[in-house]
Structure formats: C-alpha cells, structure tokens
Amino acid sequence: MAGGTWTKQNKQRPGAYINTKAIAQAKPDTSLGRVLLIGAIQTGWGAHGVIPLEIESDFKALLGTTIDDPRLVAVKEALKGAVTVLYVNMNPGEKAKITDAALPWNFTAKYAGTKGNDLTISVEKDPNDETLINVNTLFGTELVAQQQVRTTTASGLESNPYVDVEFTGDATEPIGDVSATTGGADFSATAGKDKLEALAASTTYTLTGGTTETAEDELDLVDEAMSTEAYNVVTTAGIAADSAIHQLVATTTERLREKEGYKIRAVVPALEGGTKYDYEGVSVVNNGVTLADGTELTTTQAAGWFAGASSAANETTSLTYVAYPDAVAANPKRSNEQTIDALNAGQVVFTTRRDGTVVVEQDINSLVTETKDKSKDFRKNRVIRTLDAIAMDTSNAFESRFLGKIANNATGRDLFKSDRVSYLKDLQAAGGIDSFEPADLTVSPGDDKDAILVTLGITPVDAMEKLYMTITVG
C-alpha cells in the first residue's frame, strides 16, 4: 500500500495521500502596549536610534544606567502601563577603544558615547593554571561580563553586551635569527611567544576615545521612528513642557493619521498659555502626581504613565477613573473649578480621591471644537480607540487577504462584506460597539474597476461616567 503527502493529484499507486497544514491565524495587534517615547536626555551610551525597552531589560547595557536613574523617570512611569517602550535615544559620537600590541584582541565599546570610557578590561591568569585566562569587562566598578579562554584559544573570545572583540593574532614578534643546520633550516628560534603567555599575571586596560556629540539629526530621527516603528501611542513625556518638540510630534501624528492612515495617538504635557491642539489624536496631560516614596513627578514626567496606559488600552477600555500606580496625591491638586476648566480645555487631569488614590478624571483628548463631522463623542479616547481599531483592522484585512487576490465583482465584494461583518460582530460581542446589523455595512463598486466603496454606520460604546439618581421617600 502506498501513501504519503502530495503536491499534485498525480499519484499512480492506490493509497491515502494526506497533507497536514496549520490554519492561517490572524496576527495579533503588534502595536498594542507599545509606546514610542522621545528621549529627553543623553546618557552617553546606547544605540543612536530606537531601543526597545521592557521592565526586565538590562538598562545598564542598553542605556548605561539603571531604570531608577531620575533621568529615566518618564520611561519608568511609561512601563507601569506599557509592555514595551520604544525609546528614541539621541547618542551620536565616537566609540571608546583599546588597541594594544600586547593583546591578541582589539576591544571596541558596543556603543558611542562618553560612558564607553568607563569600560575596563582586565586579563588575569588563573593562579593554579597559567594557560587558563579570565577576561573581565568592568563598567565603572561593576563586573558586567566574564569569559575564560586558554592561551591556545585566544581566538575564541566573544563579544558581550558592552564591548565588541576583534581577534588580531596571538603571536608576538619573532625572536632571534634564522640559523642553518645540517638537517635544513631551523626556524624554532624565530617563533614568537604567545601574547597571553607573555602577559603578567594580571593586566588592566581602559577603553578611551568615547565621545557624545550633539544630535544634529534629532528631528529626522523622530520623524523616521514615528513613520516606521510599530506602536500605537507616541509621547514626548520627560521633555520640558516649553519645548517645540511637542508641537512637532502632534503635527506629525495628525499627518500620519490623516494622510497615511496610520492611526497612532500622541500624549504631550500641557503648558499654560501654550499650544491648544484641538485634535482627537492628541491627549494633553494637565498635572503631575506625588508618589508614595515622596517623589514629585512633574506634568511632563507623569505624561509617561498616561502614554503607557493608553498604549495598552484597547477599544473596550476606558482610563476614566483608573488609578495611577503608587501615586498618593495629584501634583498640583486641582480645585473643582480648575478641574472643570481643564476638562473643557481638552486636558487629562489627575485627581486625588478621598480614599487617597489618584485617578484619571476623564479619559479624553484635546478636541474641543465640535463640527458636523466630529461630535462631542470624538473627545473620548475610548471612542477614538474603537474607530481607530476598526480602521486599522479593515486596512490590514484588505491588504493581506483581498488586495490583488480577489476579483472586484459581486461575489468578491460579498466576501469582503462577510469578512467585515464577522469582525464587527466580534467587536460588538466584546463591547466595543452596539446595535450593529449587517445592513449597516455596504460594499459597492468604486469609480474605477479596481476600487470598492465601503460605507459603515456604527455606534461606539462609551464607559459609564455619570450617575444621575433621584431618591423618593414615601
């Protein structure tokens, strides 16, 4: 009996020919929980560009400092809500190096920056076995990497997260002259001594020449990151509130949303008398918070947490009255009138509740001007997340499963409608929209033979926020 798998129906022998294949799975939203954060400071270390950071990341290896460094407070706050912070690091310059003829290796700092000059390489012979060599990498006074090699295997030394290693040869210069013997030329006297054997029991070398320079391509780097990275919220948290970069990021966000269909959102700090963004894709944070350990976070620092939390919130989530982790007071506290004024100005306010928790007063964006195309519902971030999710999922579905693959006829358009109806019913079941019926979606021929026109009517669901109650006493 024959059997096996098949690619064509051309088998000669009777038998069962069976293929097993995985069903194509829908890709998860790779942007959910990912916030793009524009770096506020130079640490003198790290890649010049975007660095993915998670709470478990080795911050010292990636940025030259720890997550508890006050300069990274916006990153730390963002990671209270976000899964990943894509940190735009400004670090052009030169890499520190060691080039020493006594060593069989050249060492180059993994990244440019003055922090590279804090790197030290120590080469130590094992006191019990001089052919065994310990090569230690120290960052400041901290041992950050260690490897062992033999004097005969120097070429096996590998790079680590702090330095790149280049093997240059393990023989010293030849010793002595060539002498002739009756048995032919004797070259033994010319053999160089192994470099590691020639070293003292312990030698130390410091990397030098690392420099940190002013980033002349800062705006280009920000624009490239915003245009190409996978994320759903971008923030300028940590940057001084009077910086022009906030307006730049807001403008780029609007361009990406309206011109390129990439439905990202921005979170920026408020500045009294500053820009009034008046756009549903930009949220403006009004104040900061005080943490349980006494740390007072400014508006721009606390904006990091709101950005991180916003990136992790989906279309069925509202951040209204969500507690700020570890916060014990708003900073500064806003009065009732000040809070109302800030909300009317389209700003996110942190409020201290009587139970001591600090909450987001209302999950809103900066839109304040209502038009026939943008009702007051567009002020709510949950609504915007729902609309954005529908737009992005529809775009992804069309490009991955229909564009160039399905005929633009009645059958093809029905297939597309069926695909979208299925998605919208799932969204309704999850609580994102309400009262959806298949008749609310039409797919018609477009003006060109290769175009379709889709019209959709939906009712996004908002979270409960106001309770009006009348109690009658009989």
Q: pLDDT tens digit string along 411-446?
A: 999 999 999 999 999 999 999 999 999 999 999 999
pLDDT tens digits for range 298-332: 999 999 999 999 999 999 999 999 999 999 999 99
Q: Is 15 contained in some domain?
A: no
Both tokens of 17, joined, read 């020919």
Q: Would you call 366 exposed, middle or buried from its count of C-beta atoms within 10 A (0-12, 13-18, 19+)?
A: buried
Closest of 287, 305, 359 to residue 328, by C-alpha? 359
Domain that holds residue 408: 376-460
What does the pLDDT profile of the chain (474 residues) look like in tens digits?
A: 555 555 556 665 555 555 554 444 434 457 899 999 999 899 999 999 999 999 999 999 999 999 999 999 999 999 999 999 999 999 999 999 999 999 999 999 999 999 999 999 999 999 988 889 999 999 999 999 999 999 888 999 999 999 999 999 887 655 444 343 344 333 333 334 588 888 888 999 999 999 999 988 889 999 999 999 999 999 999 999 999 999 999 999 999 999 999 999 999 999 999 999 999 999 999 999 999 999 999 999 999 999 999 999 999 999 999 999 999 999 999 999 999 999 999 999 999 999 999 999 999 999 999 999 899 999 999 999 999 999 999 999 999 999 999 999 999 999 999 999 999 999 999 999 999 999 999 999 999 999 999 999 999 988 877 777 888 788
- 111 and 155 fall within a common domain: yes
Query: Which amino acid is it at 33?
Result: G
Same domain, 231 and 199: no
- Residue 235 and residue 342 in one domain: yes
Residues contacting residue 4 through CB under 8 Å, at least 6 positions apart = 15, 17
Is 121 strand, coil or helix? strand
Same domain, 219 and 82: yes
Answer for the pair 35, 308: CB distance below 8 angstroms, yes or no: yes
Residue 16 CA to residue 14 CA, distance in Å, equals 7
Alpha carbons 340 and 362: distance in angstroms, whole number: 11
Residue 276 has, within 13 A of its CA and on its CB side, a CA count of 10
Q: Are residues 86 and 222 in the same domain?
A: yes
Do both 70 and 99 map to the same domain?
Answer: no
Query: Distance of CA 75 to CAs 227, 267, 295, 463, Å?
Result: 21, 14, 15, 29
Identify the CA nearest to 301 among candidates 31, 34, 41, 44. Answer: 41
Among 212, 232, 264, the domain boundary falls at 212
Q: Is residue 441 in some structural domain?
A: yes
Q: Residue 98 carries which DSSP code?
A: E
Shared domain for 225 and 279, answered yes or no, is yes
Q: How far is Cα 86 from Cα 230, in angstroms, rounded to an integer? A: 9
Q: Which residues contact 414 (CB under 8 A, 6 or more apart)?
A: 443
Q: Within a 13 Å sphere around the CA of 245, how many CA atoms are in the beta-carbon half?
A: 24
pTM of the model: 0.86
Q: Which of 212, 236, 251 is the last residue of a domain?
A: 212
Alpha carbon 153 to chain centroid distance? Answer: 39
Contact 86, 35 (CB under 8 A): yes
